[in-house]
Structure 1
Amino acid sequence: MRAVVFEKFHTFPSLTEVEKPVPGAGEVLLKVAGSGACHSDVAIYNEFDEGAPGAQNPPFVLGHEVSGWVEEVGPGVEGFAQGEAHLVYGPIGCGHCKACSRGQDTYCENAATMPYLATGIGRDGGMAEYVVVPARNLVPLGDADPVDAAPLSDAALTPYHAIKNSLPNLSGGGRFALVIGLGGLGQIAVQILTALTGATVIATDMKEDAMRRAEANGAITVAGGEGQVERIREITGGRGVDAAFDFVGATPTIKTAQASMAQMGRLTVVGIAGGVTEWSFFATPYESTITNTYWGTIEELHEVVAMYRKGQIRPDVERYSLDEALEAYRKLESGQLSGRAVVVPHQS
């Protein structure tokens, strides 16, 4: 079968022939419906160095945002029918520590001993015609479109987890939420905030078209650049925002979020651009919090799928054939994508 393979550090992936996988004990073979191209993939092949923290050794098939139809089940697997559509929960932990027991494989206590982090991150992923995944990691989609659902497993789950952790800050009247960075995750974050809270959602980006899409989903937008923080604080009546979500994670965006915070506010840095910041007692709103999150739990992915099936969240998807997969990654690298690129291996 054909697949997009990460073969060497600091080297663009290849579209090549690999052996079709066979499900082992406790595993399911999926015929891939869709696989989202994520900036984390670019980091895997373009930014990480061999041996660096988080680096996963090649070769392996990319693709950690995956949906598909059950094709075959391995020994000991029951309860799945051929042709059923499922979404893949990407993270794979040891399965027996406290974190894994609560479905939070992202924080597996034995991650250092695992041979991979997730489907598509160290283990063969979904940028292929077929993929094998643990049966435990499948979330049923019912009759929902599995292609458009593919990005939910990261681009929706990641902001959902961050927002859910911040719900106490957004409970009550007159609350404000700030979304910085209106790429795939930021756009869905606006939708989640609108669906789960009564907060006024302020969204900011440098791209005009991205801000228009956020406005269509209920956000008030503020353009990046000079006067950005002043405008944000003006919208809040000078008080600042109760919860901020930085989906970039660069030093300037973190500082923008910090300068926009209210007392007792919460800033969650979700983006992994590697930014740093400073803290000082008198320059920081009292009892405000700066934290970070990584992905989410499988239970939360079930909740995300429920929101998707109810029409509360809808990823902005651009579909590509497998032949066009490398072009999708080139566009992702150069910032040319306006939506989430989803590779559809079996599209006619």
Structure 2
Amino acid sequence: MRAVVFEEFQTFPSLTEVETPEPGPGEVLLRVAGAGACHSDVSVYRVFEKGGPGAQNPPFTLGHENSGWVERVGTGVSERIKVGAPYLVYGPIGCQHCRKCASGLETYCENAATLPYLAVGLGRDGGMAEYVTVPGHHLIPLGDADPVAAAPLSDAGLTPYHAIKKALPHLEGGGKYALVIGLGGLGQIGVQILKALTGATVIATDLKDDARDRAEANGAVTVAGGEGQAERIRELTRGRGVDAAFDFVGASPTIATAAASMAQGGRLSVVGIGTGTHEFSFFTNPYESYVTNTYWGSVSDLWEVVDLYRAGQIRPEVERYSMDEALEAYRRLEAGEVTGRAVVVPNQS
């Protein structure tokens, strides 16, 4: 079968022939419906260095946002998993024995440093291929929902959902404001999740006009990036600041903008892995507001994301690419030319 393979650090991936995998005990073989191309993949092959933070040793097939139809099951898989049915894949794979894994939050596995890989598509072969094997208990049924459009939900939906869910106490009640910085794949779904779960006024900001237009269509009030950005955001809140901010970029300038926009007692969640830093001062930080970070989410969170999707409350914007076009999807992603989420469709029929 064909697969997009990360073969060497700081090297663009290849589209190559690999063996079709076989499901082991507790695993299923999926015929891939859709595999989302994520900026994290670009970091894997373009940014990370061997032995450095975030690095996963090659070679392996990319693709950690996956959906597909069950082709075969290994021994010990629940009879509730039906051959031929469509499922969404929860990507993180933990040790299955620590407290975090027991709670379904395998992305925060306490023994992650001792494991051979982090997730499907991050150290272990992912779904940017015609077939992929995944743990059977990591499948969320999609019913009659479109599995190709659903594929990005396993990261671009789950990651903002987890961050927003943790911040909900800050958005309870009337007169609340939420800020979304960065309106790519995650930020656009983040706007939709905030509108679905809260009554807060959602303020969204990005440098791109078309990205702001899409956020406005989903109910956000938008602010252009650039000089005076934080001041314009505070004006929309009548000077008080936002109660919760979600930075889906994570660069130093975007973190600084979010920090300058905070109300007292607010929560700033840095979600994007942009390697930015934040300087704290007692006299400039709004009292009892804080900066935190989140990473991916739990398997139970993903069930709830799928519920929102099936109810029509969130709608991922996807650009579909054939397997022949998979490398072009990554080239366009690196060039900033992708609107929404690029999804590779390995099995067109």
TM-score tier, shorter chain, comes to: over 0.9
Q: Residues 284-323 of structure 1: matches in 2 within 5 Å?
A: 284-323=285-324
Instruction: Show the counterpart of 2:42.
Output: 42
Looking at structure 1, the residues matched to 296 and 76 of structure 2 have their Cα atoms a distance apart, in angstroms, of: 29
Partner AA of 1:251 in structure 2: S
Instruction: Show the counterpart of 1:259.
Output: 260
Gaps of 5+ in 2: none
Looking at structure 1, the residues matched to 94 and 113 of structure 2 have their Cα atoms a distance apart, in angstroms, of: 10
**Maintained 8 Å contact 2:204/2:215:** yes
Looking at structure 1, the residues matched to 132 and 272 of structure 2 have their Cα atoms a distance apart, in angstroms, of: 27
Partner AA of 2:274 in structure 1: A
Q: CA deviation at 1:81?
A: 1.7
Instruction: Show the counterpart of 2:342.
Output: 341
Q: CA deviation at 1:75?
A: 1.1
Instruction: Show the counterpart of 2:220.
Output: 219
Looking at structure 1, the residues matched to 161 and 15 of structure 2 have their Cα atoms a distance apart, in angstroms, of: 32
Q: CA deviation at 1:347?
A: 1.2
Q: CA deviation at 1:196?
A: 0.2
**Maintained 8 Å contact 2:247/2:255:** yes
Partner AA of 1:74 in structure 2: G
Looking at structure 2, the residues matched to 105 and 78 of structure 1 have their Cα atoms a distance apart, in angstroms, of: 20
Q: Determine if the alignment matches structure 1 residue 3 to structure 2 residue 21.
A: no
Q: CA deviation at 1:76?
A: 1.4
Q: Determine if the alignment matches structure 1 residue 110 to structure 2 residue 111.
A: yes
Instruction: Show the counterpart of 1:69.
Output: 69
**Maintained 8 Å contact 2:86/2:147:** yes
**Segments ≥4 residues shifted beyond 6 Å:** none
Q: CA deviation at 1:77?
A: 1.3
Looking at structure 2, the residues matched to 78 and 109 of structure 1 have their Cα atoms a distance apart, in angstroms, of: 26
Secondary structure of 2:343's partner? Answer: strand
Which piece of structure 1 moves more, 197-206 or 77-86? Answer: 77-86
Instruction: Show the counterpart of 1:199.
Output: 200
Looking at structure 1, the residues matched to 325 and 264 of structure 2 have their Cα atoms a distance apart, in angstroms, of: 48
Looking at structure 2, the residues matched to 77 and 274 of structure 1 have their Cα atoms a distance apart, in angstroms, of: 39
- Deviation track 1:60-95 (CA, whole Å, cap 9, x = no partner) reads 000000000000000111322211000000000001
Q: CA deviation at 1:338?
A: 1.1
Secondary structure of 1:166's partner? Answer: helix
Looking at structure 2, the residues matched to 340 and 272 of structure 1 have their Cα atoms a distance apart, in angstroms, of: 17
Partner AA of 1:43 in structure 2: S
Looking at structure 1, the residues matched to 107 and 65 of structure 2 have their Cα atoms a distance apart, in angstroms, of: 15
Instruction: Show the counterpart of 2:21.
Output: 21
Looking at structure 2, the residues matched to 98 and 268 of structure 1 have their Cα atoms a distance apart, in angstroms, of: 23
**Maintained 8 Å contact 2:188/2:340:** no
Secondary structure of 1:303's partner? Answer: helix
Partner AA of 2:59 in structure 1: P
Gaps of 5+ in 1: none
- Deviation track 1:119-145 (CA, whole Å, cap 9, x = no partner) reads 000000000000000001111111100
Secondary structure of 1:68's partner? Answer: strand
Looking at structure 2, the residues matched to 45 and 98 of structure 1 have their Cα atoms a distance apart, in angstroms, of: 31
Looking at structure 2, the residues matched to 216 and 282 of structure 1 have their Cα atoms a distance apart, in angstroms, of: 38
Q: Determine if the alignment matches structure 1 residue 329 to structure 2 residue 327.
A: no
Looking at structure 2, the residues matched to 121 and 270 of structure 1 have their Cα atoms a distance apart, in angstroms, of: 18
Partner AA of 2:5 in structure 1: V
Instruction: Show the counterpart of 2:241.
Output: 240
Partner AA of 1:49 in structure 2: E
Partner AA of 2:318 in structure 1: V
Partner AA of 1:17 in structure 2: E
Q: TM-score, normalised by structure 1?
A: 0.99
Secondary structure of 1:78's partner? Answer: coil
Looking at structure 1, the residues matched to 278 and 234 of structure 2 have their Cα atoms a distance apart, in angstroms, of: 20
Looking at structure 2, the residues matched to 58 and 277 of structure 1 have their Cα atoms a distance apart, in angstroms, of: 32
Instruction: Show the counterpart of 1:189.
Output: 190
When the two chains are superposed, the root-mean-square deviation of aligned CA atoms in Å is 0.6
Q: Residues 50-65 of structure 1: matches in 2 within 5 Å?
A: 50-65=50-65
**Maintained 8 Å contact 2:181/2:247:** yes
Q: CA deviation at 1:277?
A: 1.6
Looking at structure 2, the residues matched to 181 and 34 of structure 1 have their Cα atoms a distance apart, in angstroms, of: 24
Secondary structure of 1:72's partner? Answer: strand
Count of aligned residue pairs for this structure pair: 348
**What's the % identity of the aligned pairs?**
74
Looking at structure 2, the residues matched to 281 and 86 of structure 1 have their Cα atoms a distance apart, in angstroms, of: 48
- Deviation track 1:155-209 (CA, whole Å, cap 9, x = no partner) reads 0100000000000000000000000000000000000000000000000000000
Q: TM-score, normalised by structure 2?
A: 0.99
Secondary structure of 1:190's partner? Answer: helix
Looking at structure 1, the residues matched to 122 and 178 of structure 2 have their Cα atoms a distance apart, in angstroms, of: 31
**Maintained 8 Å contact 2:21/2:132:** yes
**Maintained 8 Å contact 2:158/2:297:** yes
Looking at structure 1, the residues matched to 344 and 8 of structure 2 have their Cα atoms a distance apart, in angstroms, of: 22
Looking at structure 2, the residues matched to 243 and 112 of structure 1 have their Cα atoms a distance apart, in angstroms, of: 31
Instruction: Show the counterpart of 2:143.
Output: 142
